[in-house]
């Protein structure tokens, strides 16, 4: 992979760009921004406007550039509109940021894998380009639309490869992603760094439980995250239906924390399944409210059937919450013994695993303790931060070798 011309070593300025989520709602980006600011970097950040961005609009060392988010649609062609709109908006604000304060490194949070187009002119000016690959666009598209072929898939794979090949360095969240980037993008291993998405230890210690969150029931089961089609929250709702109407469990309340494009249809599905009395959709919650739920939860659910690493398991583990998840390589790599695994998509087995684990408090306690320990020893952001900052230090070193 070609390295850019040397970067001015006295300057420590970075432009960060994300498309699908605002900074105030982006746990990973927030940790990265705070780490860079603490290390002496000046940060410009381009993202969607959102009320949650307010605390960052006056943060010292951070300049926030916001644009109005595009309208969301479940149609496939919405990909084209959303990406084109966001790229044009981000490009305009990037030019503004360049002339206002400048930057030495551009970091793009992908997907979508289009920001290399924005970065290319600045690479010609000697700036470095970092891709923070959070998910894999072709896999997300296939999960969302049930199709892994066709013109759009070809385009997504081409954009993905172009993004990786343009980047001076690629960050990813797991060993599985690193393997795919190396093989599918033909990217040297030395140009890929795993930076996990673990929570900060100091902020995620369990709080006192709030029994009222259980809605007058014995157990609280939580799902937390951004609700996209690929997250398969519908499978959790079908499992709730089975628990209530086939296994006869009316002692559990299920809270789904977060929002996203499929939230309205999930609400409708809960009504259709006649489980609304056992289910709460909170929408987006402030951090303290979310952590109160997790501190009270008896069990956490991970419903994706896509073999990708997500932050859900890590958040559950940080609060000592045992997990029921589908049996995928990334879930085992993250949670190991902190989760019970069932075959992907097997709703009856998923519901049964929930029921059995709720009936076994000793096992839940053991799994929760193991999960918290894995966060402290391996997955916490404190363990990942050094790797993240190390990439930036290497990018600022003048004598970088050609690879």
What pLDDT is recorded for position 74?
Answer: 58
User: Could you please report the per-residue DSSP string of 110-129?
Assistant: ESSTTHHHHHHHHHHTT-EE
Residue 112: asked if its preceding bond is cis (omega within 30°), the reply is: yes
- As a residue count, the chain comes to 403
Checking if the pLDDT of 322 tops 90, the result is yes
Q: Is the pTM of this model over 0.85?
A: no
> 286: pLDDT confidence band, cut at 50, 70 and 90?
confident
Neighbours of 275 (CB within 10 A): 20
Decide: 131 and 94 in contact? Cβ < 8 Å: no
Yes or no: say if 263 and 184 are a contact pair by the CB < 8 Å rule. Answer: no
Mean pLDDT of 341-361: 97
Mean pLDDT of the chain: 89
Return the pLDDT at 3: 44
Distance CA 86, CA 385 (A): 29
Q: Which of 203, 197, 199 is nearest to 388 (CA)?
A: 197
Between the CA of residue 80 and those of 84, 94, 97, 154, what are the distances in Å? 6, 21, 25, 14
Segment 276-303 mean pLDDT = 94
- Does residue 385 contact residue 196 with C-beta atoms inside 8 Å? no
* CB 299, CB 221: distance < 8 Å: yes
**In the predicted model, what is the mean pLDDT of residues 137-153?**
79
- For the chain, give every domain's residue range: 13-198+381-395, 211-378
Residue 65: pLDDT over 90: yes
Convert the pLDDT of each residue in 95-129 to its tens digit.
999 999 899 999 999 988 999 999 999 999 999 99
Question: What pLDDT score does 75 carry?
Answer: 63
In 3D, which of 31, 180, 303 has the Cα closest to residue 312? Answer: 303
Query: CA nearest 205: which of 310, 294, 109?
Result: 294
| pLDDT computed for residue 7 by the predictor | 41
Report how far residue 375's alpha carbon sits from residue 317's, in angstroms, rounded to the nearest whole number. Answer: 7
Is domain 13-198+381-395 given the CATH code 3.40.30.10 in the classification?
A: no
Q: Domain 211-378 in CATH: superfamily? A: Glycogen Phosphorylase B; (3.40.50.2000)
**What pLDDT shows up at residue 8?**
43
Q: For residue 287, what pLDDT is reported?
A: 85
pLDDT digits (tens, 9 = 90+) for 174-213: 888 899 999 999 999 999 999 988 888 878 888 899 999 9
Do 13-198+381-395 and 211-378 share a fold? yes
Q: Exposed e or buried b for every residue in 292-326, given b needs 16+ CB within 10 A?
A: bbbbbbbbbbbbbebbbbbbbbbbbbbbbbbbbbb
Of the candidates 93, 119, 124, 125, the residue with the CA atom closest to the CA atom of residue 107: 119
Q: How many angstroms separate the CA atoms of 388 and 193, rounded? A: 8
pLDDT at 198: 86
Taking 90 as the threshold, does the pLDDT of residue 253 lie above it? Answer: yes
Question: Given a cut of 60, is residue 249 above it in pLDDT?
Answer: yes
- H-assigned helices in 246-286: 263-272
Greater model confidence, 151 or 36 = 36
CA–CA separation, 330 and 314 (whole Å): 12
Q: Report the percent of the chain where pLDDT is more than 90.
A: 68
pLDDT band at 78 (very low <50, low <70, confident <90, very high): low
Query: Beta partners for 18?
Result: 109
Please compute the mean of the pLDDT values over residues 139-152 and round it to a whole number: 77
């Amino acid at each position: 992979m070609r390295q850019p011309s040397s970067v001015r070593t006295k300057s420590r300025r970075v432009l960060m760009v994300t498309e699908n989520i605002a900074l105030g709602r982006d746990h990973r980006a927030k940790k990265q921004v705070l780490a860079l600011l603490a290390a002496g970097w000046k940060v410009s950040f381009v993202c969607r406007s959102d009320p949650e961005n307010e605390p960052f609009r006056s943060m010292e060392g951070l300049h926030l550039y916001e644009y109005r988010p595009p309208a969301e649609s479940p149609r496939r062609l919405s990909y084209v509109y959303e990406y084109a709109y966001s790229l044009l908006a981000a490009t305009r604000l990037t030019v503004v940021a360049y002339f206002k304060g400048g930057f030495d490194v551009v970091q793009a949070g992908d997907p979508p894998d289009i920001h290399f187009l924005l970065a290319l002119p600045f690479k010609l000016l000697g700036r470095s380009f970092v891709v923070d690959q959070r998910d894999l666009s072709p896999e997300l598209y296939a999960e969302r639309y049930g199709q892994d072929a066709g013109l759009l898939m070809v385009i997504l794979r081409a954009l993905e490869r172009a993004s990786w090949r343009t980047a001076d360095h690629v960050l990813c969240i797991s060993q599985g992603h690193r393997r795919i980037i190396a093989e599918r993008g033909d990217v040297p291993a030395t140009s890929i760094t795993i930076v996990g998405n673990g929570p900060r230890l100091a902020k995620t210690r369990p709080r006192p439980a709030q029994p009222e969150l259980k809605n007058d029931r014995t157990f609280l089961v939580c799902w937390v995250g951004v609700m996209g089609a690929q997250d398969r929250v519908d499978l959790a709702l079908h499992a709730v239906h089975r628990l209530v109407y086939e296994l006869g469990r009316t002692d559990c309340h299920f809270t789904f924390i977060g929002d996203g494009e499929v939230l309205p249809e999930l609400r409708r599905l809960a009504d259709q399944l006649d489980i609304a009395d056992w289910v709460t959709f909170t929408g987006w919650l402030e951090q303290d409210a979310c952590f109160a739920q997790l501190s009270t939860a008896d069990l956490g659910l991970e419903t994706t059937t896509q073999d990708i690493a997500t932050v859900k398991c890590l958040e559950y583990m940080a609060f000592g919450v045992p997990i029921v998840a589908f049996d995928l390589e990334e879930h085992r790599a993250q949670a190991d013994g902190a989760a019970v695994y069932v075959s992907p998509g097997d709703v009856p087995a998923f519901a049964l695993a929930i029921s059995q684990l709720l009936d076994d408090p000793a096992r839940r306690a053991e799994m929760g303790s193991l999960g918290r320990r894995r966060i402290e020893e391996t997955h916490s952001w404190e363990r990942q931060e050094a790797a993240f900052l190390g990439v930036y230090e290497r990018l600022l070193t003048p004598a970088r070798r050609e690879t």
